[in-house]
Amino acid sequence: MPFPVHPPTHAECTGAMRSVRDALDLLGGKWKLPIIVGLSNGPQRFKQLQREVVGITAKMLSKELKELEINGLLTRHVQADTVPVAVTYTLASYGKTLFPVIEALHQWGQQHRTHIMHPGAAAMLEEAAG
């Protein structure tokens, strides 16, 4: 088993599609992206992060953070000598390698909104292109 980290929620893929699926699954779900964005402005403690990621429950935040940590995207640091304990999550430099990917998604998604709202121009281009 070459890729034990992520649970195979989707069908097995062959060749190049496997890695696309991996990246998609890593960014997929409801909360992964907001969490990464929330941490992109600097380290956050659990409660801070929960306030930033509006609507997330402690259960989901805990679960998602665990997955992201296992994948090396963020690090978890426990300050044990305080009461109560303070836990800080930091976006790893490896996690920041996702930024170009997210940016690519952002660019496409943004133009897609305008594309959907002005389908006429696109249709004419389609027609011209055959």
Partner DNA sequence: CCGTATCCTCATCGATACTG
Partner DNA sequence: CAGTATCGATGAGGATACGG
Q: How would you write 65-128 as a 3-class SS string?
A: HHHHHHCCCEEEEEECCCCCCEEEEEECCCHHHHHHHHHHHHHHHHHHHHHHHCHHHHHHHHHH
Coil/strand/helix, residue 12: coil
Site residues for DNA per CB under 7 A: 7, 9, 11, 29-31, 45-48, 55-60, 62-63, 65-66, 76, 84-88
CB-nearer residue toward a copy of itself: 85 or 121? 121
- Per CB under 8 A, residues contacting a copy of itself are 2-3, 5, 10-11, 13, 16-24, 26-28, 30, 33-34, 37, 54-55, 71-72, 75, 92-94, 97-98, 100-102, 104-106, 108-113, 115-117, 119, 122, 125-126, 129
